[in-house]
Structure 1
Amino acid sequence: MNTPPPADRSPIEVNDDSQTVRPSRRVVLTAAAGIAAAGAVTSCSSSPEAVRYRTQPPFPEELPHLDDLPKNGGLVVAGAIVLTRDQSDQVRAFSAVCTHQGCIVKQVTENEIICPCHDSRFDAITGHPTRGPATTSLKPIRIVITDGVITKGAPGFNGT
């Protein structure tokens, strides 16, 4: 049977000999649990510069010229799309929204698109995840390249 603590029992204990004040065990354990929970929430949150979207951000009005897109690399444009370019000048475009929790990917390095929130990585050619926690590919975006000018693709055209 559970009996409540005596009414005269305070969460703060005072030692009559030295007049020091000590929190009770319950207060210490409750505070520790709160600190641990706050730490868990903080560790699951993104870095300060990370941005999250539930839907695709608006398509940028201007895209870089093909000459500005590094071979075997890529660029994140206006936090909306990722343009990648392989050694043979094949250019692909993907949504910059990570499929794990909606953060915006930040960079393309060594043929991988990298999300800063939880370090998900995607293949720069296919958009498929290469390292989790993301398990779904980045959404391909239609593009057209004419004389080095990259533009949004027409409906029905698959630029990937």
Structure 2
Amino acid sequence: MTHSTTRRTVLATGAAALAAGCGGENSTAPGGQQLTRTGDVPEGGGTIFKEQKVVITQPTKGDFKAFSAICTHMGCTVNQVADGTIDCPCHGSKYDIADGAVAHGPATKPLPPKTIKVEGNSIHLL
């Protein structure tokens, strides 16, 4: 009887290990997480991805940049990209879409850059 119990235990353990190895998704895939398509980011503007806390901008045609979407002043999430700036609704800070530099305070530090990769028409967050 101990022989079949041992076999059952081994099979159950193996099945559990296999199931654990198959579960979940890999959020750090080699190509990164696809955020959007290049055509969806307006030239001279940008798009905010609240879930990923990142903003993708296209200051000039074909030149894509990425920054944290968290304001460096008080930690609010930026809410719009307009007139060449990334804007925070909490206290009015504005950041330049080309380099994340402070264009208007009260923030004193730029938005930290994020790493992206453009592959064909896709923009991936790395």
The reply to whether residue 68 of structure 1 matches residue 40 of structure 2 is yes
SS in 2 for 1:113: strand
Matches within 5 A, 1:1-160: 61-79=33-51, 80-153=53-126
Shift of 1:87: 2.5
CA distance in 2, matches of 1:124, 1:100: 17
Which structure has the greater CA radius of gyration?
1
What percentage of residue pairs aligned between the two structures are identical?
37
Whichever residue aligns with residue 89 of structure 1, its letter is G
User: Per residue, is there more strand in 1 or in 2?
Assistant: 2
List runs of 5+ in structure 1 lacking aligned partners: 1-57, 154-160
TM-score (norm 2): 0.71
Shift of 1:86: 1.9
Whichever residue aligns with residue 68 of structure 1, its letter is D
Shift of 1:88: 2.6
- Structure 1: 4+ residue segments shifted above 2 A: none
Retained in 1: the 8 A contact 2:46–2:58?
yes
List runs of 5+ in structure 2 lacking aligned partners: 1-26
CA distance in 2, matches of 1:103, 1:78: 11
Give the CA RMSD over aligned residues. Answer: 2.0
CA distance in 1, matches of 2:38, 2:121: 5
CA distance in 1, matches of 2:85, 2:114: 17
Q: Deviations over 1:81-136 (max 9, x none)?
A: 01000233200000000000000001100110000000100000010001100000
CA distance in 1, matches of 2:45, 2:81: 6
CA distance in 1, matches of 2:36, 2:119: 12
- Which one is further off, 113-122 or 83-92? 83-92
